[in-house]
Structure 1
Amino acid sequence: MHHPSPDLLKAIGFKIFSALLFAAMSALIRQLGETVPVGQMVFFRSACAIPPVLLIYAFRGEIMTAVRTNRIFGHLGRGTVSVCGMFSNFAALARLPLADATAIQFGSPLITVALAALILKERVRVFRWTAVVVGFVGVIVMLIPNFDPGRYTAVGVGAAAAVGSIFAVIAAFCNAGAVIQTRRLTQSESTSSIVFYFSLSCALVGAATLPFAWYTPTREELMALVATGILGGIAHIFLTESYRHATASVIAPFDYTSLIWALLLGYWFFGELPSTLVYVGASIVAGAGLAVLWRERRLGIDRAPEAEGPRRPEI
């Protein structure tokens, strides 16, 4: 009987734990989103993630590796796309149930396949294109309840759900764009520099929103804002570590555990239960995503996810 290697078990454990931390961070964003402006949440999420990440790099003697770069404009391009993704994702979380916002993000790996064909000129054959189309059908199925005015009794709630859905789709596209840019950067840049400059660019853009709309948080809200960054930073470290112990094609399917965490946290903290169509759509998207992963494993394509962050935008 073949037992999985300790490295593989460690990789899977790290991946699932990072998915839990990201889901907990999303739950905090969902809670804070009712009162705290998105720009302020982006700032705290990014700025407070830098210390734990730098601490780990210092421990490993990788500080100079993280700061050194020959492609500052490449980081700038990726940072711009990532910032748009983070803003859109937080705006979606403030308006949608946790599980809905998380599930829609799983269209992102499928968009990555399409963008890889269009931008990187990667050969994408019928199998993967079919999976992409099927996945998009799944996303549309998930979106249907949020555009149904009859589903919402309170005026304005339906509109918020529709707007939140649009933001979630934008975030999925931004995340896919960030993955493409990451793949370009990994040819010459280290993982640590990609993560560092991502956090720095998001923090600076978040800080730039200070004159327009910032809110004085209560002590509890301030603690929650700081926690979003610390959770995000630690989650990123565990994510990176998981890819040190196993290949991307083995680890990536465990991305989908974040949907389970989102369901549980959404129910425990907000009493949210997704509609049947969300379950159906999420199953279609997950099936299509796993089919793409299986195919890419067969083709030997590695999507450099150790720097990419989670499949949802780098929340």
Structure 2
Amino acid sequence: MLQPPDRQLTSTTVAFSVAALGIALFSGMDALMKVLSLQIGTYNALLWRTLASAVLAGSLFLATRSRWPARPVLRVHLTRGLISLPMALLFFWGLARVPMAQAIALSFVASLLSLYLAAVLLGERIERRALGASLLGFGGVLLIFAGQAEANLGPEALAGSLAILCSAGIYAYNIILMRRQALLAGPVEVAFFVSTIMAAGFAVAAPVLAELPALKQVPAIIGAAVLAFGSLMLLSWAYARAEAQHLAPVEYTSFIWAAILGLLIFDEQVRPFTVAGAVLIVIGCIIAARRRAPPDPDVDAGVHA
């Protein structure tokens, strides 16, 4: 009997868990980037982080003697790298102006949109389980936003929220590209090209906008680069082994990390509405991670014999 490919043997639950770890690393990077954005501005924080990520990923790419990708694969790398430029600028500019938990809650719109984009662009069938889980998670986001709306955060926070919503719209397509890219290339290649293309894009404006960071800011830049690189590797591995609709709800776990890091680093208080919404989000993620086992051929044959 022929064995299915290794990717088919990897359960959706394992892929979901790896993606969740990738999101945790990404959340840590978000916290460091918020600190850097407040200190040296969003552009310089992104410039130096992506440059450090490109060096790290490039070193590993050369060390593993990875092959240069074919033109169609390179086109996917280029597309994801380019759309990541405005996506990152909008998100981190907004993140510097609103609490982390609220920023992440707004970004969850991307996960819901990605389900429909996956059906259109990847030909995936939207299952009731995945759709229901995403809607449950989105309901949690709405509950959180209702609680946070009571706080008077001012016009700067409103502008930041709008920027994050725009970034979320771009990120919805990025989730789909992540799946397509992961099927065409390995994690090291993905991390190398995304980091390098973003670094090159931000470097275009360097003669006008770039400023050398202070020595005390270098550890945060390197830390953010390492976390971003690790997250890219883990998410690429996961998206190569599970459909986008099953992994999209994993984005909701970032809210939990944002609430914890926001409280510990920025003294951003978490409201009861936020806790209640987080519970709904976690439930949705658990449901999405579970997948019905395919029917046993022997049992099925016995029933119809």
What TM-score do the two structures reach when normalised by structure 1?
A: 0.72
What does the per-residue CA deviation read over 1:138-196, in whole Å, with 9 as the maximum and x for residues that have no partner? 33333335554xx23xxxx4222222222333333322211212333445434433222
In structure 1, the partner of 2:201 is 205
Separation of aligned partners in 2, 1:257 and 1:42: 23
Equivalent in 265, 270, 274 of residue 270 of structure 2: 274
1:58-77 alignment, distance < 5 Å: 58-59=62-63, 61=64, 63-65=65-67, 67-71=68-72, 72-77=74-79
Query: Which residue in 1 is equivalent to 2:40?
Result: 36
Correspondence for 2:298 = none
1:179 aligns to 2:175 (yes or no)? yes
Shift of 1:217: 2.9
Alignment correspondent of 2:217 = 221
Measured after TM superposition, the shift of residue 203 of structure 1 is 0.8
Q: Does 1:93 align with 2:102?
A: no
Match of 2:111 in 1: 109
Matches of 1:204 and 1:90 in 2, distance apart?
A: 18
Is the CA contact (8 Å cut-off) linking 2:23 and 2:253 kept in structure 1? yes
Answer 1 or 2: which has greater helix percent: 2
Larger CA deviation: 19-28 vs 129-138: 129-138
Check the 8 A contact 1:103/1:259 in 2, yes or no. Answer: yes
In structure 2, what is the equivalent of residue 49 of structure 1?
A: 53
- Contact 1:104-1:282 within 8 A present in 2 as well: no
Distance in 2 of aligned mates of 1:24 and 1:127: 30
Is 1:82 aligned with 2:84?
yes
Alpha carbons 2:179, 2:236 under 8 Å: kept: no
Q: Secondary structure at the match of 2:292?
A: helix
Unaligned runs of 5+ in 2: 1-9, 295-305
2 CA distance for matches of 1:120 and 1:13?
22
* Structure 1 range deviating more: 272-281 or 200-209: 272-281
1:135-284 equivalences under 5 Å are 135-145=137-147, 147-148=149-150, 151-152=151-152, 157-237=153-233, 243=238, 248=242, 258-284=254-280
Distance 1:138 1:201 in 2: 35
Task: Give, in angstroms, the shift of residue 30 of structure 1.
Answer: 1.3
Distance 1:183 1:42, change over 3 A: same
Taking the aligned partners of 2:159 and 2:188, their CA distance within structure 1 comes to: 35
2: CA distance, partners of 1:64 / 1:285: 39
What is the CA distance between 1:132 and its match in structure 2? 4.2
Does 2:25 match 1:21? yes
Structure 1 position 253, deviation (Å) = 7.4
Deviation at 1:93, TM superposition (A): 1.8
Aligned residue for 1:311?
A: none
C-alpha contact (below 8 Å) 2:101/2:255 kept by paired residues: yes
The 3-state SS of whatever aligns with 1:68 is: coil
1:309 corresponds to: none
**Residues 280 and 129 of structure 1: is their aligned pair in 2 closer, same or farther, counting only changes over 3 Å?**
same
Aligned identity (percent) is 25
RMSD: 3.7
Q: Structure 2 vs 1, CA of residues 112 and 140 (structure 1 numbering), >3 Å: closer, same or farther?
A: same
1:79–1:29 distance in 2 versus 1, CA, 3 Å? same
- Paired letter, 2:125: R
Paired residues of 1:79 and 1:201 also in contact (CA < 8 A): yes
Deviation, 1:113, is 0.7
- Cα distance in 2 for partners of 1:10, 1:187 equals 17
Closer, same or farther: CA 290–252 of 1 in aligned 2, 3 Å: farther
